Amino acid sequence: MFKDFSLEMIPVSQGTLRVRHGGSGPPLLLLHGHPRTHVTWWQIANRLASQFTIVCPDLRGFGQSFLPADTPDHIGSSKRAKAQDCIELMEMLGHRRFAVAGHDRGSYVAYRAALDHPDRVDRLVVMDGVPILEALERANEKFARLWWHWFFFGTPEKPERAILADPDAWYGGSPDSMGEEAFEDYRNATRDPDVVHAMIEDYRAGLSIDRAHDLADRQAGRTVQCPALLLWSKRDDLEELYGDPLSVWRPWAPGIIGWSIDSGPSYG
């Protein structure tokens, strides 16, 4: 995995991130989803390394990166805080401006980076996600049925207890589908009680402070200024929930383009 990439623990202002980086060309930051680590990108990173300088961190609270402190407002698990980590990380690696691509929960960090730091993000790719505020405002019976875990993960204590009772049954995955090393890294993360708690805090932040940040952006008329691309899985449920996901995104990124790809489901 990650041929000719470096693996480092890199400090940012709030803690230390586990980061894989390598390749050559314009910088591209890749942000994973739940319950993954940066290792989920290994095949894509290898393919892109001849054209881009690839940076793949474990987001704070995931994998082997630092765990944010618990607070009642969940601010340490907010997408704004995670986006700030990314800005600082790329600065540490010498990248003042860069493109960012995020999948699943990582897509929320990616668009938050583009909204909060328009002078730093020059391209945005979001995969399998819509803005958190849009998802919550459009939540209906179908959303509750398909994405029930958002609300379960928002409750205290019980999600962690349920997951840790049998992480393999809860999350699935296999060496055949993920690659042996990637599966082992993911399996270690999902069996660590502290990491599982921090990953669930990401959802609690989504239902509270992240929603508030999105609402403030909408009220202020802030939108993504850089070129933006939306990709979604044809065999997942984004079209079932929203019809045309691009129409959901256009108020947030007026110039966004995108299409579905023939791939399997994400976690959400």
Q: Is residue 249 part of a domain?
A: yes
> In this structure, are strands 228-233 and 121-127 parallel, antiparallel, or unpaired?
parallel
Position 84 in a domain: yes
35: cis peptide before it, omega within 30°? yes
CATH number for the domain that contains residue 208: 3.40.50.1820
**In this structure, is residue 229 part of a structural domain?**
yes
Is residue 268 assigned to a domain? no
Q: Write the CB contacts of 81 (distance below 8 Å, at least 6 apart in sequence).
A: 14, 60, 68, 75
42 CB neighbour count, 10 Å cutoff: 20
H or E segment and range at residue 183: helix 180-190
Strand-pairing partners, residue 53, are 23, 27
* pLDDT for res 262: 87
- Residues with Cβ within 8 Å of 44's Cβ and at least 6 positions away in sequence, in order, are 30
Range of the domain at 54: 6-261
Q: 14 lies in a domain?
A: yes
> What pLDDT, in 10s, does the model give residues 95-147?
999 999 999 999 999 999 999 999 999 999 999 999 999 999 999 999 999 99
Q: What is the dihedral of CA 140, 142, 146, 147, to 10 degrees?
A: -10
Euclidean distance between CA atoms 133 and 207, whole angstroms? 9
Task: Profile the chain (268 residues) by mean pLDDT over runs of 10 residues.
Answer: 95 98 98 96 95 98 98 98 98 98 98 98 97 96 94 96 96 91 95 98 98 98 97 92 96 96 70
pLDDT tens digits along 29-41: 999 999 999 999 9
Question: Helix, strand or coil for residue 243?
Answer: coil
Q: Which two tokens stand for residue 234?
A: 């044809």
- Residue 83, in any domain of the structure: yes
Task: Give how many domains the chain has, as a whole number.
Answer: 1
